[in-house]
Amino acid sequence: MQSSINRHGLPPDPDELIVEGDPPFADAAEQTAREKADESLNALQHEVRLLNARIGVLREDAEAALKAKATSVDASAHVQLGDYPWLKLAAAIGATFIAARLVRRLPLGVLLAGFAGHHSEARRL
């Protein structure tokens, strides 16, 4: 706040005495606690709306990325396995399951005898 006398020795203009944050008139009321709370609430609601908008954008980006990845994986499977790649993969899994069941039913001695015969032939070569 400025002094009560200006450089000309006269009382200062009332507008010169107002410092930022001071009420413009002596009888001007200060902001009430209710008004301050309302302003804070409005500011927080605005921030929440902005955050919700940002979250929406992030969800859309994530969804687009997942769709792009799924399309890429599907295209890769078609390149490697041709048409109906998931059917071919299921057939391979089924064939492996059946082969494993057949091997489990064979007696262990037959398997070892066959392996020993194969091993002895490989040694002769």
3-state helix vs strand vs coil in the chain, percent to 5: 75, 0, 25
H or E element, residue 102: helix 85-105
- Which pLDDT score is estimated for 27? 54
- Which pLDDT score is estimated for 44? 95
**Burial degree of 93 (CB within 10 A; 0-12, 13-18, 19+):** exposed
- Which pLDDT score is estimated for 90? 92
User: Are the CB atoms for 4 and 11 separated by under 8 Å?
Assistant: yes
Q: CA gyration radius for the chain? A: 42
- Which pLDDT score is estimated for 48? 96
Question: Helices 33-81 & 85-105, crossing angle to 10 degrees?
Answer: 70
Q: Which residues of the chain have pLDDT under 70?
A: 1-30, 119, 122-125
